[in-house]
C-alpha cells in the first residue's frame, strides 16, 4: 500500500524560492514592492449555504456584499444571496466546517470545504484598485466598495469573487475564482500590474 | 547617410516665447524622409519640421496636392505621417521623440515629386461619386479596378509585424467627466471637485489650458492659476493627450487615453454620473481658390506655432480677419518678425479671391483687385462649435445666424455644456459660467450617486437626508455677432481630408442630392480623418448656397462616435481569453501531450500515438485526466425530487453507495446532457455532467430550484475544479488500485460496477471513486481534492510501472468509447436529437410523475418517422468515412449521416456511429455512405451500439 505524505499544490506556479507551509507548496519570495500579489490558495475556504433570514445567517452576522472578521479571526464573506464563504489559515477547514455544522439546529444548512474549489489571490498596495480598474468594471471607490465590501464580477473575463480586505491600512483585495482558472487570472493580474511595478510576494501563514 | 542636419535653431525658430512648451535644454534629432532633423523636447513632429524650414508634409487624398500646416493641432488634415510602423500619426499633435523615423505617407517616388499628382490634371474625370459612376461595369473588370485603386488608397502602411504594441482598457466611474481642459473645463472641474465630486478632466492636447496657452500675459497668468487649482485638487484626475471619443446611453463615455508610458493607447470605459462638454471652439477655414496651398493657415495655427513652439510661420503675410482672433494673430506675427504685407478686414468689406503659387502660397489675390506677394496667408473668419458629444446625447445643433455658427440644443439631465460651445463673452464671464456648470454637475452627480448607492449591498449606508434638489443658477453667456463668411467668390476645398471642393458640392446638388445627409455620403465631405470638425459648417453653407436655401433650413449632418479615431488596438484591449487547466497539466506538458482546446479547457489529446494508448488500456492499464467533467455537490432531502425533475430516468431509490447513469432532455425532448450521479450519503449526492455541459446544467438546475420549485430543500454547489478527476482503466486497474487505495474493499463483490466509495488514495483523504468508465474496461473514476491531483497522478504512474501503466488522452478515449458504442452529446446528437432517436428508450420513464421534456417525449414515443442512432461498420474495413458523411439512398436522397468514425485498433477495422432513416435501422441493413471524394462505401447496420464487448463482460469484471 502506497500511502505517501501528499503535497498540496496551488494551480498557480510558485515563484522561486519555493517552500512547504502546512503541506502546501508555496512561494517563499520576499517582496517589498508597493504593490504585491500573493497566491493565497492554501487558505482554508468553507462555503455555507443557508436561508438568509434564518438562524445561521443571524449567527454569521454578515450580509450579502459584505465581509468581516469574526472573533476567531476568520474572514466571513457574504458571498451571494444565502451564501457565505469563510476564509481561515491553511489546514483549518475541517475544524471550521465542524464548527459550522452546528450553526443552526433544525435548519437546512449546507457546509462544504471548498479549499480545493477556488484559487485565491491577494493584491495589496495603494495601486491595487487602479490595477483592478483595468480588468474589472465595478466601481472601486470608497463610497461604493469600501473596506469589507464583497462582490462577484468579471475580472479579466473570469467570474471572480472580490473582497476588499485592507491590510494594516493598506488597500488590499482578495480575489478568488474557480481553481482551474487560477494561473490564467494570476497571469492576467501580473500583466495588468506591470505598469505599477507589481511584484510577486510569497505566502506567509496565517495568510488571513 | 544624411548629408545635412536641419537645425532646431534654424531661421524659422524664434527666440524664447512666454508660453512656449519646448525645452531648449533638451535637443535631439529625428529623421524625416531619411533626413536627420533637429528638434526640442516639446516640439510636435510638424513644429520641428516647420522650424527646420519644411513647408509640405503630405499629399492630398485624391489629387495629391501638396499640403502643409492648416490648424497646427490634432485635427490638422495635412499633417498625417508614418512614424516607424505606425501609420496615420497626427504629426501636428504628436510630440517628436529622439530617433523617430518619420515619413510622408502614400507618395511615390517622393513627397516632393509625387507621380500621383498627375491626378490634378484629371480633375474633370474625378467628379463626386466617380467610383459609382466609373466602376459599375463591366463587373468582370472589378478585380483589375481594385488593384489600381489600392495603389491610390490613402494613408500609411499597416504592418502586422509589430510586436512591441501594448493596448489595454480601464474602467472609470467619475462623478463628473469633463470633456475639454481649456479654461472652462478647468474652472468647471475645480468647482465640481470643490463640491465634493470625483472629477475626470480629459484634454486632447498635451497640456491643459486651451487657447489661454497662446494668449496674452494676462491669459497666461490666468492659466497658471487654473492649472494650480486643478493640480491642487486631489479629486480631479487629469488625462491629457486623451480624447473623449463617444458618449452612449447612461453616460457610458469612451475616452482614448494616450499619455501613458507603457501603453500605446488605452480605452477608458467611463460611467460618468454627469458629463460636462467643454471642448471650446474650432476655427473654421475659409473656402476660396487655393485655400489648401501650403502657407494658408488659420489664425489659431500661427498663434500656436509662434507662442507654443517658437516657430516663425512665414516671412511675409496677408491676414484676412473677421474677428479678434485674427487681430491677435497680426500682433503675434509682428512680434515674431513676420512682415504683414496686407491686412484684409472682412468687417470693413475686404475679401479674398484666391491664393496662387507653386508648391505653396506666393501671391494672394484680393477682392479689390490687388495682388499681394506673400508666403503666408492667415484667415480668421469664424468658428465651429464641436457639438459632437451633445449630439450623441440626443441633442440637435441649432444654427444662429447672428453668430454664424451652430449651438447645442438643451441636453439631457446628465449632460451639461460650458465654454465657447455655449456662448461668447469675456474670459471672466466664461469662467463664471463654467464654475456654475461645475457646481451644478456635482449636485446632479451627488443625487445620482445616492440613488445608485441605495441599491448597492456593498456601499456604506446612505445618508437619509436628501441632497440639495434645487439646481444652481447658471448665468447666460452672451452671443457675439459674427459675419457669415464661408465661401469667397471662387471655389476651393471644403473637406481637406477627402479632397472635396465646393464645386463638388454644387455638382452634387445639381445631380439631385439636395439633402445634406445624402450629399455628405455622395461627396464624402466630412467623412475623412477630421470627421467634420473643420469642414462640416462650410459643407452645409456651400450646400445651402447651391440649393438656394438658408443654413437653418439645410440643417446639419449627424455627428456619430467616435469623436476622433480610436486605434483598433485600444478597442480590442488585452487578449482576455480565460483558459482552464487541470492540476495535472504541468505533467501533460512535460510529457509532450498534444493539447486539445475543448471550450475553455486545455486537455491532452494524446501523447504521441493514440492507437498505442488504446491497445495498452485494452491489455494493461491506462489513466486519463478527466478533470473537466462537470461536477456538482448536491445536498438536501429533496435531491431525489430534483434528479427526477432533471433526468428522464428514475432516481427515487438510488441507494447510498450507488451511481446511476442519467440523461437530461430539454422541454422539447432533445438530449441536453448526460452523466452519472452517485449517492455519497443520506442527503449528499455528486452529479457529473459532460465536460462541455456544467455551465448549461447549472443554469438548468438553478432555474428549476429558483423558479419552479423554490420550496425544495436542495443546495447545489459547483465543484468541477474541486476535484482532480482521473479514470484508471484496463484489466490491471484493480491491481493498481489495490496498491494506492486505503479503507475501501476493492473486491468485485464488495465494490461492483456502478458503485461509489469514499476513501483515501495515495495518502490523500477526502477522495471518492466510482466504478464506471467510458472505455468499456474494468475502470475506476477517481476524484481527488484538486491540490493533490498531481501527487496522485504521479503516484499511480510510479506504482503501476510493472503493470505497464501509461497515460491516454482524449483521442484514445474517443476511440474506445466508439468501440463500446457510447454516444457523445453534441457530437452524436444535435439540437434536434430526441431521447428516442438517440436509442434511449429503455432509459425514458414516462410513468414518472413529471420531468423536463416529458410531454414532448410522450409525443415522440408514438412517432417512428425519426432518424435512429445505430452502429455501422463499413464493408471495406479499411475505409473510415469522415464524420459528417451523408448516408444516401439512390443517387441523392439523404437518409442519414455518420456522427462518429474511427479506425479501431482493437478490432482492426473501421467503426462508426450514425443516424439512419427508420427503414434502415434494423441490424444487417446495408446503407450507402457517400465519401467527400464522391465515392461510396457500403456499411452494415450492427445489432448493438457496441462494436466491442457488447455484453459488458470486461467492464463488470
Interchain pair B786, A179: CB under 8 A: yes
Q: Which of residues 56-95 of A touch B (CB under 8 A)?
A: 63-66, 78
Residues 6+ apart with CB under 8 A from B153: B106
Q: How far is CA B112 from the centre of its chain?
A: 39
**Touching check for A159 and chain B: CB below 8 Å?**
no
Residue of A9, A78, A180 lying closest to B581 (CB–CB): A180
| pLDDT over 80 (residue B89) | yes
Instruction: Give tens-digit pLDDT for B435-447.
Output: 999 999 999 999 9
Residue of A108, A114, A195 lying closest to B636 (CB–CB): A108
Confidence (pLDDT) at B469: 64
Residue B715 half-sphere exposure toward CB, CA atoms < 13 A: 21
Confidence (pLDDT) at B170: 96
For residue B858, count other CB atoms closer than 10 A to its CB.
12
A-chain CB neighbours of B458 within 8 Å are 65-66, 144-146, 149-151
A-chain CB neighbours of B799 within 8 Å are 2
Of B128 and B687, the structure prediction assigns the larger pLDDT to B687
Closest CA to B929 of B892, B897, B907: B897
Please compute the mean of the pLDDT values over residues B58-81 and round it to a whole number: 94
CA B174, CA A3: separation in Å to the nearest integer? 58
Q: Identify the weakest region by mean pLDDT among A61-65, B565-569, B802-806.
A: B565-569
Please compute the mean of the pLDDT values over residues B688-699 and round it to a whole number: 94
Please compute the mean of the pLDDT values over residues B284-312 and round it to a whole number: 98
Interchain pair A136, B171: CB under 8 A: yes
**Touching check for B449 and chain A: CB below 8 Å?**
yes
Q: Identify the weakest region by mean pLDDT among A105-109, B2-6, B570-574, B623-627.
A: B2-6
CA B24, CA B43: separation in Å to the nearest integer? 10
Interchain pair B721, A178: CB under 8 A: yes
Q: What is the DSSP string of A14-48?
A: PPSSEEEETTEEEE------SSEEEE-TTSEEEEE
**Grid coordinates of B4:** 545635412
**Touching check for A1 and chain B: CB below 8 Å?**
yes
What sign for the dihedral angle of Cα B220, B226, B232, B235? Answer: negative
Instruction: Give tens-digit pLDDT for B136-146.
Output: 778 888 888 88
Q: Identify the weakest region by mean pLDDT among A151-155, B144-148, B819-823.
A: B144-148
Distance from CA of A72 to the nearest CA of B (A): 23
Q: Which of residues 142-171 of B touch A (CB under 8 A)?
A: 168-171
Residue in chain A nearest B627 by alpha carbon: A180
Distance from CA of A137 to the nearest CA of B (A): 6
Instruction: Give tens-digit pLDDT for B363-400.
Output: 999 999 999 999 999 999 999 999 999 999 998 899 99
Best probe of the A interface among B234, B447, B458, by most A CBs < 10 A, is B458
> Predicted confidence band at B793 (pLDDT cuts at 50, 70, 90)?
very high
> Predicted confidence band at B467 (pLDDT cuts at 50, 70, 90)?
low
Residue with cell 425519426: B866
Alpha helices in A34-92 (DSSP H): 55-60
Distance from CA of B166 to the nearest CA of A (A): 11
Residue in chain A nearest B459 by alpha carbon: A144
B-chain CB neighbours of A138 within 8 Å are 171
Residues 6+ apart with CB under 8 A from A160: A136, A152, A153, A154, A175, A176, A177, A185
> Predicted confidence band at B359 (pLDDT cuts at 50, 70, 90)?
confident
**Touching check for A141 and chain B: CB below 8 Å?**
yes
Please compute the mean of the pLDDT values over residues B451-465 and round it to a whole number: 76
Asked if B439 contacts B591 with a C-beta cutoff of 8 angstroms, the reply is no
**Touching check for B792 and chain A: CB below 8 Å?**
yes
Interchain pair A11, B788: CB under 8 A: no
Q: What is the DSSP string of B861-920?
A: HT---S-EEEEEEESSTT--PPTTPEEEETTTEEEEEEEEEEEETTTTEEEEEEEE-GGG
Looking at chain B, the whole-number percentage of residues with pLDDT higher than 90 is 84
Instruction: Give tens-digit pLDDT for B890-918.
Output: 988 999 999 999 999 999 999 999 999 99
Asked if B68 contacts B525 with a C-beta cutoff of 8 angstroms, the reply is no
**Touching check for A27 and chain B: CB below 8 Å?**
no
A-chain CB neighbours of B723 within 8 Å are 116
Distance from CA of B721 to the nearest CA of A (A): 5
Instruction: Give tens-digit pLDDT for B479-525.
Output: 999 999 999 999 999 999 999 999 999 999 999 999 999 999 999 99
Please compute the mean of the pLDDT values over residues A56-83 and round it to a whole number: 94
| pLDDT over 50 (residue B3) | no
B886 forms beta bridges with B897
Confidence (pLDDT) at B454: 87
| pLDDT over 80 (residue B116) | no
Interchain pair A133, B787: CB under 8 A: no
Confidence (pLDDT) at B464: 55
Please compute the mean of the pLDDT values over residues A191-206 and round it to a whole number: 96
Residue with cell 501609420: B87
Q: What is the DSSP string of B826-865?
A: TTT--TT-BTTTTT-TTT--TTSS--TTHHHHHHHHT---
Interchain pair A144, B636: CB under 8 A: no
CA B531, CA B760: separation in Å to the nearest integer? 69
**Touching check for A184 and chain B: CB below 8 Å?**
yes
**Touching check for A190 and chain B: CB below 8 Å?**
no
**Grid coordinates of B829:** 446528437
Distance from CA of A26 to the nearest CA of B (A): 12
**Touching check for A36 and chain B: CB below 8 Å?**
no
Instruction: Give tens-digit pLDDT for B825-850.
Output: 999 999 889 999 998 999 999 999 89
Distance from CA of B735 to the nearest CA of A (A): 11
**Touching check for A98 and chain B: CB below 8 Å?**
no
Confidence (pLDDT) at B517: 94
> In chain A, what's the furthest Cα-to-Cα distance?
58
Over chain A, what is the mean pLDDT?
94
| pLDDT over 70 (residue B2) | no
Interchain pair A180, B601: CB under 8 A: yes
Confidence (pLDDT) at B145: 82
Residue of A78, A146, A157 lying closest to B578 (CB–CB): A157
Confidence (pLDDT) at B220: 97
**Touching check for A99 and chain B: CB below 8 Å?**
no
Kindly list the strands in the beta sheet with B35-41, ordered across the sheet, starting from the edge strand earlier in the chain: B35-41, B23-32, B101-104, B80-83, B86-90
For residue B335, count other CB atoms closer than 10 A to its CB.
12
Interchain pair A149, B717: CB under 8 A: no
Ramachandran area for residue A82 (φ above 0: left; ψ -120 to 50: alpha; else beta): left
Q: Which of residues 348-387 of B touch A (CB under 8 A)?
A: none
SS3 assignment, position A101 = helix
CA A115, CA B136: separation in Å to the nearest integer? 67
Residue with cell 447545489: B716
**Grid coordinates of A139:** 466601481
B-chain CB neighbours of A114 within 8 Å are 717, 719, 722
A-chain CB neighbours of B574 within 8 Å are 156, 188, 191-192
CA distances (Å), origin A7, targets A41, A186, B709: 14, 21, 43
Residue of A65, A117, A143 lying closest to B719 (CB–CB): A117
How many beta-carbon pairs below 8 A join chains A and B? 163
| β-pairing verdict for B376-380 and B316-321 | parallel
- Strand extents, DSSP E, B748-792: 756-761, 764-770, 779-785
Asked if B368 contacts B350 with a C-beta cutoff of 8 angstroms, the reply is yes
Please compute the mean of the pLDDT values over residues A196-208 and round it to a whole number: 95
What end-to-end distance do the CA atoms of chain B give, in Å? 83
Over chain B, what is the mean pLDDT?
93
Residue of B173, B637, B799 lying closest to A2 (CB–CB): B799
Confidence (pLDDT) at B833: 92
CA angle B545, B549, B554 (to 5 degrees): 95
Distance from CA of A50 to the nearest CA of B (A): 9
Confidence (pLDDT) at B1: 36
Please compute the mean of the pLDDT values over residues B161-166 and round it to a whole number: 81
CA B662, CA B700: separation in Å to the nearest integer? 15
Amino acid at each position: 500500500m502506497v500511502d505517501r505524505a501528499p503535497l498540496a499544490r496551488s494551480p498557480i506556479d510558485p515563484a522561486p524560492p519555493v517552500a512547504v507551509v502546512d503541506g502546501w507548496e508555496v512561494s517563499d519570495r520576499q517582496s517589498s514592492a508597493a504593490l504585491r500579489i500573493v497566491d493565497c490558495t492554501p487558505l482554508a475556504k468553507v462555503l455555507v449555504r443557508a436561508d438568509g433570514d434564518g438562524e445561521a445567517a443571524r449567527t454569521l452576522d454578515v450580509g450579502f456584499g459584505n465581509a468581516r472578521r469574526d472573533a476567531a479571526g476568520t474572514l466571513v464573506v457574504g458571498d451571494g444571496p444565502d451564501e457565505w464563504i469563510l476564509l481561515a489559515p491553511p489546514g483549518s477547514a475541517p475544524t471550521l466546517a465542524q464548527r459550522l455544522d452546528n450553526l443552526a439546529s433544525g435548519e437546512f444548512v449546507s457546509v462544504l470545504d471548498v479549499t480545493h474549489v477556488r484559487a485565491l489571490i491577494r493584491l495589496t498596495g495603494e495601486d491595487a484598485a487602479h490595477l483592478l480598474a483595468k480588468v474589472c468594471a465595478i466601481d472601486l471607490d470608497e463610497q461604493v466598495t469600501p473596506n469589507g465590501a464583497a462582490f462577484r464580477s468579471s475580472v479579466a473575463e473570469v467570474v471572480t469573487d472580490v473582497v476588499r480586505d485592507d491590510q494594516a491600512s493598506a488597500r488590499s483585495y482578495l480575489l478568488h475564482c474557480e481553481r482551474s482558472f487560477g494561473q490564467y487570472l494570476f497571469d492576467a493580474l501580473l500583466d495588468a500590474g506591470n505598469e505599477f511595478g507589481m511584484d510577486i510576494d510569497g505566502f506567509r501563514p496565517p495568510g488571513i | 547617410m544624411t548629408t545635412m542636419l536641419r537645425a532646431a535653431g534654424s531661421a524659422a525658430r524664434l527666440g524664447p516665447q512666454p508660453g512656449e512648451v519646448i525645452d531648449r535644454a533638451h535637443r535631439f534629432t529625428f529623421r524625416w524622409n531619411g533626413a536627420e532633423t533637429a528638434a526640442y523636447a516639446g516640439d510636435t513632429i510638424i513644429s520641428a519640421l516647420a522650424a527646420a524650414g519644411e513647408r509640405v508634409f503630405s499629399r492630398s487624398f485624391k489629387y495629391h496636392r501638396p499640403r502643409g500646416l492648416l490648424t497646427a493641432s490634432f485635427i490638422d488634415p495635412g499633417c498625417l505621417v508614418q512614424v516607424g510602423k505606425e501609420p496615420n500619426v497626427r504629426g501636428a499633435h504628436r510630440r517628436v521623440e529622439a530617433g523617430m523615423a518619420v515619413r510622408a505617407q502614400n507618395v511615390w517616388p517622393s513627397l516632393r515629386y509625387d507621380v500621383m499628382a498627375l491626378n490634378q490634371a484629371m480633375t474633370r474625370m474625378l467628379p463626386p461619386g466617380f467610383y459609382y459612376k466609373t466602376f459599375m461595369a463591366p463587373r468582370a473588370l472589378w478585380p483589375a479596378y481594385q488593384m489600381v485603386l489600392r495603389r491610390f488608397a490613402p494613408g500609411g502602411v499597416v504592418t502586422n509585424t509589430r510586436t512591441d504594441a501594448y493596448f489595454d482598457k480601464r474602467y472609470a466611474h467619475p462623478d463628473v467627466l469633463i470633456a475639454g481642459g481649456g479654461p472652462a473645463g478647468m474652472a468647471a472641474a475645480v468647482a465640481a471637485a470643490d463640491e465634493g465630486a470625483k472629477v475626470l478632466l480629459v484634454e486632447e492636447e498635451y497640456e491643459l489650458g486651451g487657447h489661454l496657452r497662446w494668449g496674452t500675459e494676462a491669459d497666461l497668468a490666468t492659466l497658471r492659476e487654473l492649472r494650480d487649482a486643478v493640480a491642487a485638487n486631489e479629486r480631479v484626475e487629469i488625462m491629457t493627450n486623451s480624447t473623449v471619443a463617444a458618449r452612449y446611453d447612461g453616460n457610458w463615455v469612451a475616452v482614448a487615453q494616450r499619455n501613458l508610458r507603457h501603453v500605446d493607447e488605452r480605452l477608458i470605459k467611463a460611467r460618468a454620473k454627469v458629463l460636462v462638454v467643454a471642448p471650446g471652439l474650432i476655427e473654421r477655414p475659409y473656402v476660396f481658390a487655393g485655400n489648401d496651398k501650403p502657407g494658408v493657415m488659420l489664425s489659431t495655427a500661427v498663434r500656436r506655432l509662434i507662442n507654443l513652439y517658437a516657430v516663425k510661420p512665414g516671412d511675409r503675410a496677408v491676414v484676412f480677419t473677421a474677428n479678434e482672433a485674427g487681430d491677435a494673430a497680426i500682433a503675434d506675427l509682428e512680434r515674431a518678425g513676420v512682415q504683414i504685407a496686407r491686412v484684409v478686414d472682412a468687417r470693413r468689406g475686404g475679401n479674398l479671391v484666391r491664393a496662387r503659387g507653386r508648391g505653396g502660397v506666393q501671391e494672394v489675390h484680393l477682392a479689390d483687385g490687388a495682388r499681394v506677394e506673400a508666403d503666408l496667408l492667415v484667415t480668421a473668419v469664424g468658428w465651429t462649435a464641436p457639438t459632437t458629444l451633445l449630439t450623441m446625447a440626443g441633442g440637435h445643433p441649432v444654427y444662429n445666424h447672428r453668430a454664424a455658427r451652430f449651438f447645442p440644443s438643451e441636453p439631457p439631465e446628465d449632460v451639461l455644456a460650458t465654454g465657447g460651445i455655449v456662448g461668447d463673452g469675456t474670459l471672466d464671464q466664461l469662467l463664471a459660467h463654467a464654475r456654475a456648470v461645475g457646481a451644478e454637475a456635482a449636485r446632479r452627480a451627488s443625487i445620482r450617486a445616492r440613488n445608485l448607492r441605495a441599491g448597492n449591498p456593498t456601499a456604506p449606508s446612505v445618508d437619509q437626508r436628501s441632497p440639495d434638489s434645487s439646481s444652481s443658477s447658471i448665468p447666460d453667456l452672451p452671443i457675439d455677432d459674427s459675419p457669415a463668411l464661408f465661401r469667397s467668390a471662387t471655389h476651393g476645398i471644403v473637406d481637406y481630408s477627402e479632397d472635396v471642393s465646393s464645386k463638388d458640392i454644387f455638382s452634387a446638388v445639381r445631380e439631385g442630392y439636395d439633402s445634406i445627409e445624402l450629399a455628405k455620403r455622395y461627396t464624402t465631405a466630412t467623412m475623412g480623418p477630421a470627421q467634420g470638425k473643420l469642414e462640416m459648417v462650410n459643407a452645409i453653407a456651400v450646400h445651402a448656397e447651391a440649393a438656394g436655401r438658408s443654413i437653418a433650413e439645410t440643417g446639419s449632418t449627424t455627428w456619430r462616435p467616435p469623436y476622433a479615431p480610436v486605434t483598433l488596438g485600444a478597442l480590442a484591449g488585452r487578449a482576455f481569453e480565460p483558459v482552464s487547466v487541470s492540476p495535472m497539466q504541468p505533467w501533460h506538458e512535460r510529457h509532450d501531450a498534444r493539447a486539445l482546446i475543448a471550450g475553455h479547457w486545455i486537455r491532452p489529446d494524446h501523447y504521441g500515438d493514440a492507437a498505442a494508448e488504446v491497445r495498452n488500456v485494452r491489455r494493461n492499464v491506462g489513466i486519463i485526466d478527466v478533470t473537466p467533467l462537470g461536477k456538482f455537490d448536491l445536498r438536501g432531502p429533496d435531491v431525489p425530487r430534483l434528479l427526477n425533475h432533471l433526468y428522464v430516468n428514475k432516481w427515487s431509490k438510488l441507494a447510498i453507495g450507488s451511481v446511476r447513469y442519467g440523461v437530461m432532455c430539454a422541454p422539447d425532448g432533445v438530449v441536453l446532457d448526460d452523466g452519472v450521479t452517485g449517492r455519497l450519503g443520506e442527503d449528499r449526492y455528486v452529479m457529473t455532467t459532460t465536460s462541455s455541459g456544467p455551465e448549461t446544467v447549472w443554469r438548468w438546475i438553478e432555474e428549476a430550484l429558483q423558479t419552479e420549485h423554490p420550496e425544495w430543500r436542495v443546495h447545489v454547489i459547483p465543484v468541477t475544479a474541486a476535484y482532480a478527476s482521473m479514470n484508471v482503466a484496463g484489466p490491471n486497474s484493480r491491481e493498481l488500485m489495490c496498491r494506492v487505495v486505503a479503507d475501501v474493499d476493492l473486491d468485485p463483490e464488495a465494490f461492483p460496477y456502478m458503485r461509489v466509495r469514499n476513501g483515501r488514495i495515495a495518502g490523500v483523504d477526502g477522495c471518492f471513486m466510482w466504478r464506471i468508465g467510458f472505455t468499456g474496461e474494468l475502470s475506476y473514476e477517481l476524484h481527488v481534492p484538486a491540490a493533490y491531483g498531481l501527487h496522485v497522478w504521479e503516484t499511480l504512474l510510479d506504482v503501476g510501472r510493472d503493470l505497464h501503466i501509461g497515460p491516454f488522452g482524449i483521442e484514445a478515449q474517443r476511440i474506445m468509447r466508439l468501440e463500446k458504442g457510447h454516444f457523445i452529446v453534441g457530437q452524436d446528437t444535435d439540437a434536434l436529437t430526441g431521447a428516442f432517436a438517440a436509442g434511449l428508450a429503455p432509459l425514458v420513464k414516462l410513468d414518472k410523475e413529471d420531468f423536463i421534456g416529458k410531454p414532448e417525449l410522450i409525443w415522440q414515443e408514438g412517432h417512428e418517422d425519426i432518424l435512429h442512432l445505430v452502429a455501422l461498420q463499413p464493408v471495406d474495413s479499411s475505409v473510415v468515412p469522415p464524420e459528417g458523411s451523408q448516408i444516401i439512398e439512390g443517387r441523392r436522397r439523404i437518409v442519414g449521416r455518420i456522427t462518429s468514425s474511427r479506425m479501431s485498433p482493437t478490432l482492426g477495422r473501421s467503426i462508426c456511429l450514425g443516424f439512419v432513416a427508420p427503414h434502415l435501422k434494423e441490424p444487417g441493413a446495408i446503407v450507402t455512405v457517400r465519401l467527400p471524394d464522391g465515392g461510396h462505401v457500403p456499411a452494415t447496420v450492427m445489432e448493438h451500439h457496441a462494436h466491442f464487448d457488447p455484453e459488458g463482460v470486461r467492464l463488470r469484471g
